[in-house]
Amino acid sequence: MDIEELKGQVSGEIDARRHQLSELSLKIHSNPELGFQEVKAATWLAQYLEENGFSIERGICELPTAFRGSYGQGKPAIAILAEYDALPNLGHACGHNLIAATAVGAGVASKLAIDRFGGNILIIGTPSEELNGGKAIMADRGAFDNVDMAMMVHPATHDTATTEALACLALEVEFFGKAAHAAARPEAGINALEAMLQSFAAINSLRQHIKDKARIHGIITDGGEVANVVPAHSAGIFLVRAEDDNYLDELKEKVLNCFIGAATASGARLEYRWGDVRYAPLRNNLTLAQLFTQNMQSLGRKVELSDPNKGFGSTDMGNVSQLVPSIHPSVAIAPREVASHSPQFASAAASEAGIQGLLDAAKALAMTVVDLVANPEIVIKVKQEFEQNK
């Protein structure tokens, strides 16, 4: 049997499961669960894989809602990653329900390629992409140690082969001042809210003089209790992002100085804590990206190399991509004016276009698995590119 015929068969497997996969995706969509609480989604996904011949380990890496499904053995060990966490108040406004169904669909269809050529397909359930960087934790705990390459597809407004994602770190800050009657004894108070507002002003000034693509943004989570008391406490959470790790380190210091300066100016005491999880920038393996592109194009989709809108955020897939050759392409499920993390995008994640994106992405992933297991020389090329760009 030739490769194209096998690709037609794996693609046919996805079509045959259209109803099951869309049901699974819609079920997760209508039961949104926040990061590390994705009990239902993880259970349904692992169960689907188990019913289809995968061996399952639940709660891997000491994370109750992480899992690993495995079919076949030996090399290459190809991981397809599933995300399934939702956003507070917005539900599946990042479309992770589609990522989940895409991953298990691609995994089950890939069995045909594994049966024919050998190798190992792994479907790795990676919780809490949005809030905790689950993959970064799993990467530290060895989840990708014996993996040769990792792939996932994220819903978006364009079909792209690569994704640009920034290094990112969170900063929690608190100012401690002194309460006093805001009118009768203002001179007795130290205003913790003013310290926070000055920090924002300093960061706004800093922003004029940072590199392109770097980002600093934050919110105030405590700004006082009542207007007639000088706020004795303020708190905020900020995210600092940069194109590479070195610049992120440089920026960290500059951002922190904004808070230190505000503390000095106001007399409030500063306490801060950098986040435990640092999102790494995403390294796109272009050899893998090219295979994925060709397979998507064979389904009649137009795939661009990168997002023409030049949009970028951060993803914990970045941390995986530092360890093993990886791709994180996008599949269009909504018109280009629809923003991710919006109610409109949440609707798109349950739409007909969403299901079509799921099916096409699953087909292209499974066809890419065919390319990899059938052509050991491509696996070598994927790894060479990874080593050369280290």
To Zn ion, the closest distance from the beta carbon of 38 in angstroms equals 13
Of 61, 82, 94, 216, the one binding Zn ion by CB under 5 A: 94
User: Which residue lies nearer to Zn ion by CB, 28 or 372?
Assistant: 28
Exposed/middle/buried for 361, CB within 10 Å: 0-12, 13-18, 19+?
buried
To Zn ion, the closest distance from the beta carbon of 340 in angstroms equals 6
User: Which residue lies nearer to Zn ion by CB, 94 or 378?
Assistant: 94
User: Which residue lies nearer to Zn ion by CB, 346 or 367?
Assistant: 346
Contact 174, 238 (CB under 8 A): no
Size of the site for Zn ion (CB under 5 A): 1
Interface with Zn ion, residue 114, by CB under 5 A: no
Interface with Zn ion, residue 349, by CB under 5 A: no
Q: Pairing between strand 119-125 and 67-73? A: antiparallel
User: Which residue lies nearer to Zn ion by CB, 126 or 199?
Assistant: 126
Interface with Zn ion, residue 282, by CB under 5 A: no
CA dihedral 320, 44, 97, 145 (to 10 degrees): 0
User: Which residue lies nearer to Zn ion by CB, 163 or 199?
Assistant: 163
Span near Zn ion by CB under 5 A; candidates 91-99, 255-263, 304-312, 320-328:
91-99
| CB-nearest residue to Zn ion | 94
Residue-wise DSSP of 123-152: EEE---TTTT-HHHHHHHTTTTTT-SEEE-
Span near Zn ion by CB under 5 A; candidates 31-39, 55-63, 89-97, 115-123:
89-97
What is the Cα–Cα distance from 98 to 29, expressed in whole angstroms?
8
Span near Zn ion by CB under 5 A; candidates 45-53, 88-96, 140-148, 221-229:
88-96
To Zn ion, the closest distance from the beta carbon of 315 in angstroms equals 7
Burial 281-301 (b: 16+ CB within 10 A, else e): bbbbbbbbbbbbbebbeebeb
Residue 63, phi then psi, degrees to nearest 5: -115, 110
Tokens at 228, concatenated? 């007639």
Interface with Zn ion, residue 143, by CB under 5 A: no
User: Which residue lies nearer to Zn ion by CB, 94 or 195?
Assistant: 94
| Amino acid in the structure at residue 238 | F
User: Which residue lies nearer to Zn ion by CB, 100 or 190?
Assistant: 100
Tokens at 351, concatenated? 């739409």
Residues found near Zn ion in the complex (CB under 5 A)? 94
